[in-house]
C-alpha cells in the first residue's frame, strides 16, 4: 500500500489540509476533506499506509458489527453519547455501503461480526488508496511527525532529513499506544501535551492480564484455549455474567472474553490492587451433578484422571482446578464442584500497552468541539481515531468509530479552510 516515496523537500505552506497518520481514521479524513473540494496532503511515518489495518485483517478483516443501534452505541461505555453522534453520520450500515463502493461485499457472521466476503483487508485497502490518489490526495510516506513549531508548523523526520511545513488546517490521526511497531507508539502525547492539549494517560485496552501461575502450570498449559466458560463478577452491587472463550498464557489469561471485560478489570485493579474474575468451567453441568459425579469411587484411577472423567473437564480446565485447590484440596467433592463452577482468578495487572489490541486514553473529548477540533492549537487542529479518549471491545466496534471520527474531523477541517477562504 505504498503511495509515493518520501519527498526530498516540502513547500513552506501547504494549500489546505494536512492529515497526519495513514490509518483508517486518517485515510477517511483525507477522503472526507477531498470530497469537499480542498487539497489534501497525507503524511505517514511508515513506508506504507494502513499497516495496522492489514495486520488486524490477517485472520479475517472484522470491518464492523451487525448489532443494531442503540445497542451498538452502548459498546462504547461512558463515551456512548459522544460516539453515538459520530455514528449518526457514519454507522455500521454506512461502512458496509462504503466498502461496497470498492466492490467489496460483506456478510454478517454467526457472532454478528461483519467481514468482507473474501475476509481479506488488502483488496479493500488497495482500492481505497488508489481512489484517494486518483482524487488528488498527495501521499508522503516515511514522514514521521515529531512536533509542532511555535507557529503551528509541522515537523517531520524523513529519510532525506528533517522537514517542515505548515498547513491551513491539520487532522491528527496518530493512533494510540498499542502495536508500536506499526507506528502508533503514543509519542505524540509528549509534544501535543506540551502545547496545552488535555490528554488522558494512555492505557492498555482489549488486553490480557497477569495472574502469576505456578511454573508447572505455565510450562504445560500456556496457549491452551478455555472454552466454553462463563465469567462471573459483581458490578454496581449486581451479579453479572458473560459466556465466551479465553486463552491461558505464560503469565495469565487473554482472549475475547477477557478483552470484553478489560476496561472494568483494569479499573478494578487500579482501585483495589487486583481484580477477581470467577469462571464457570463447566457451564453445561449444574453444581449438584458435578458434586455427585466427582463423589463416585475412583478405584485405581489417579485424582486427576478421576476429575477429568467424572466432570468432563479437559486437561487445562482440570489443571486450573489443581492450580487453585492443590492436591490436598481435591478430596472434598463439594469443594471441587464449587471451584469448577466458580473458579476464582486473581488478576494482578494488565499486560503492557505494546501487547494490547488497542488503547484507552488520549485527547479528551470534552476538550474538543463537535467537529473534533481543539481550541488550544493554531492553525485549526482536529483529531480522529484511537488517539482520542475512548475505547470499545473488539468485534468491529473499534474500527467503525475510527472511520466515523475520521469522516467528522476531515469534513470539519475542510470547512475550516473553506470558511477562512470565504472571509
> Mind spelling out the 3-state secondary structure of 380-406?
CEEECHHHECCCCCCCCHHHHHHHHHH
Domains and their CATH numbers in the chain: 17-205+356-422 (3.50.50.60), 209-350 (no CATH)
Tell whether the model's pLDDT for residue 421 goes beyond 80: no
Tens-place pLDDT, residues 70-88: 999 999 999 999 999 999 9
Confidence band, pLDDT 50/70/90 cuts, at residue 58: confident
Residue-level pLDDT at 101: 97
User: 3-state DSSP call for residue 210?
Assistant: strand
Let me know if 127 is exposed, middle or buried by CB neighbors in 10 A (0-12, 13-18, 19+): middle
Digit-coded pLDDT (tens) for 279-288? 999 999 999 9
Rounded to 5°, angle at Cα 278 from 277 and 280 = 145
Coil, strand, or helix at residue 104? coil
Average pLDDT for 155-167: 95
DSSP secondary-structure letter at 154?
A: E
Please list the residues that pair with 399 across neighbouring strands.
none
Q: What is the pLDDT of residue 331?
A: 87
| The pLDDT of residue 423 | 36
Cell numbers that stand for 401 in this block: 468509530
Distance CA 389, CA 78 (A): 10
Q: Label residue 186 left, alpha or beta by phi (over 0 means left) and psi (-120 to 50 means alpha).
A: left
47 has pLDDT over 80: yes
The arithmetic mean of pLDDT across residues 114-131, rounded, is 96
| CB burial string 186-214: b at 16+ within 10 A, e below | bbbbeebeeeebebbebbbbbbbbbbebe
The whole-angstrom separation of Cα 323 and Cα 317 is 10
Would you state the pLDDT for residue 183? 87
4 pLDDT more than 80: no
| pLDDT, mean of residues 361-368 | 97
Q: How many percent of the chain have pLDDT more than 70?
A: 97
Q: Would the pLDDT of 369 be above 70?
A: yes
pLDDT mean across residues, the chain? 94
Given a cut of 80, is residue 276 above it in pLDDT?
Answer: yes
Mean pLDDT of 212-235: 95
What is the predicted pLDDT for the residue at 420?
53
Q: What does the pLDDT average to over 176-196?
A: 93
Q: Is the pLDDT of residue 2 over 70?
A: no
Q: For residue 235, what pLDDT is reported?
A: 87
Mean per-residue pLDDT for 386-411? 97
**Residue 125: all three cell numbers together:** 485497502
The pTM for the full model equals 0.92
Amino acid at each position: 500500500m505504498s503511495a509515493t516515496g518520501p519527498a526530498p523537500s516540502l513547500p513552506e505552506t501547504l494549500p489546505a489540509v494536512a492529515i497526519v497518520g495513514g490509518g483508517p481514521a486518517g485515510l477517511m479524513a483525507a477522503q472526507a476533506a477531498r470530497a469537499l473540494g480542498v487539497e489534501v496532503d497525507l503524511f505517514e511515518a511508515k513506508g506504507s499506509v494502513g499497516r495496522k489495518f492489514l495486520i488486524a485483517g490477517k485472520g479475517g478483516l472484522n470491518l464492523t458489527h451487525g448489532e443494531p443501534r442503540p445497542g451498538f452505541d452502548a459498546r462504547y461505555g461512558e463515551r456512548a453519547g459522544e460516539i453515538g453522534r459520530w455514528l449518526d453520520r457514519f454507522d455500521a450500515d454506512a461502512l458496509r455501503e462504503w466498502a461496497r463502493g470498492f466492490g467489496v461485499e460483506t456478510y454478517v457472521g454467526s457472532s454478528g461480526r461483519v467481514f468482507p466476503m473474501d475476509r481479506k483487508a488488502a483488496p479493500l485497502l488497495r482500492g481505497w488508496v488508489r481512489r484517494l490518489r486518483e482524487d488528488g490526495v498527495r501521499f508522503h510516506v516515511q514522514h514521521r511527525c515529531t512536533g509542532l513549531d511555535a507557529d503551528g508548523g509541522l515537523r517531520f523526520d524523513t529519510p532525506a532529513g528533517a522537514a517542515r511545513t505548515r498547513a491551513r488546517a491539520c487532522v491528527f490521526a496518530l493512533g494510540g499506544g498499542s502495536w508500536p511497531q506499526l507506528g502508533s507508539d503514543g509519542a505524540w502525547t509528549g509534544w501535543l501535551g506540551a502545547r496545552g492539549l488535555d490528554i488522558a494517560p494512555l492505557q492498555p485496552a482489549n488486553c490480557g492480564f497477569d495472574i502469576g501461575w505456578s511454573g508447572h502450570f505455565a510450562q504445560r498449559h500456556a496457549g491452551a484455549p478455555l472454552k466454553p466458560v462463563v465469567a462471573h463478577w459483581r458490578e454496581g452491587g449486581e451479579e453479572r455474567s458473560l459466556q465466551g472463550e479465553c486463552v491461558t498464557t505464560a503469565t495469565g489469561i487473554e482472549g475475547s472474553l477477557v478483552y470484553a471485560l478489560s476496561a472494568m478489570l483494569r479499573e478494578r485493579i487500579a482501585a483495589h490492587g487486583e481484580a477477581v474474575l470467577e469462571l464457570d468451567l463447566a457451564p453445561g453441568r449444574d453444581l449438584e451433578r458435578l458434586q455427585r459425579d466427582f463423589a463416585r469411587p475412583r478405584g485405581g484411577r489417579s485424582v486427576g484422571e478421576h476429575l477429568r472423567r467424572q466432570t468432563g473437564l479437559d486437561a487445562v480446565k482440570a489443571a486450573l482446578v489443581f492450580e487453585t485447590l492443590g492436591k490436598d484440596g481435591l478430596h472434598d467433592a463439594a469443594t471441587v464442584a464449587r471451584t469448577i463452577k466458580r473458579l476464582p482468578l486473581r488478576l494482578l495487572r494488565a499486560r503492557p500497552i505494546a501487547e494490547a489490541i488497542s488503547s484507552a486514553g488520549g485527547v479528551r473529548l470534552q476538550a474538543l468541539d463537535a467537529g473534533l477540533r481543539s481550541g488550544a492549537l493554531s492553525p485549526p487542529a482536529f483529531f480522529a481515531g484511537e488517539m482520542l479518549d475512548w475505547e470499545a471491545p473488539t468485534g468491529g466496534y473499534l474500527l467503525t468509530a475510527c472511520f466515523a471520527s475520521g469522516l467528522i474531523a476531515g469534513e470539519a477541517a475542510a470547512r475550516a479552510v473553506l470558511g477562512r477562504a470565504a472571509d
